[in-house]
């Protein structure tokens, strides 16, 4: 899959040392400069086009997940409720959540979730937490697309 850099929420970002206190991963994606586009230059927004669905994809990349204990990993996609909030420190909402008790390996797709139409605000960021054990290794890549990968993992 060819990805446009502007669709990336994080690229091969480490989740090492994340425990029950959630941590934001990657940069904040600011959609103020225009809507992100797919590899063909088409705007990827759930608010335009008939039948267009925008997916949030999270993939294990470069480093297999490892942990102390048996963590339940929660990965959220947050958006700001206010266009004036650039650090997501104000009121935020959760667009989608992925929960896994598996330990994915490099290349495994953790999830591809369709986002509800009309819910995306100006800023987006990925949030990761581990409920019952510290993550000691692992990297994730997260992006937006209208054409999600279909390969899943069965760790």
Domain with residue 54: its CATH number is 2.60.120.1110
- What value does the mean pLDDT of the chain take? 75
Which range of residues forms the domain containing residue 59?
5-145
In total, how many domains does the chain have? 1
Domain-embedded: residue 150: no
For residue 5, pLDDT beyond 60:
no
Can you point out the beta strands (E) in 45-150? 55-60, 66-67, 73-80, 92-100, 109-114, 123-130, 135-137, 139-145
The residue to which tokens 């850099």 are assigned: 5
Q: Over pLDDT 90: what percentage of the chain?
A: 6
Residue 33 lies inside a defined structural domain of this protein: yes
> Per the domain annotation, does 154 fall within a domain?
no
Judge whether 37 and 31 are in contact, CB under 8 Å: no
Does some domain include residue 92?
A: yes
Q: Is the predicted pLDDT of residue 119 greater than 80, yes or no?
A: no
Give domain status of residue 72, yes or no: yes
């Amino acid at each position: 899959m060819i990805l446009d850099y502007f669709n990336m929420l994080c690229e091969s970002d480490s989740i090492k040392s994340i425990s029950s206190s959630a941590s934001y991963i990657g940069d904040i994606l600011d959609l103020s400069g225009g809507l992100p586009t797919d590899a063909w230059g088409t705007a990827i927004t759930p608010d335009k086009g008939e039948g267009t669905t925008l997916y949030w994809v999270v993939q294990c990349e470069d480093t297999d997940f490892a942990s102390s204990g048996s963590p339940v990993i929660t990965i959220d996609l947050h958006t700001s409720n206010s266009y004036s909030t650039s650090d997501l420190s104000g009121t935020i909402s959760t667009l989608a959540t992925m929960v896994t008790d598996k330990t994915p390996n490099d290349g495994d797709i953790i999830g591809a979730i369709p986002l509800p139409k009309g819910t995306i605000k100006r800023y987006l960021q990925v949030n990761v937490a581990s409920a019952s054990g510290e993550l000691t290794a692992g990297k994730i890549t997260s992006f937006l697309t209208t054409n999600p990968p279909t390969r899943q993992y069965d760790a």
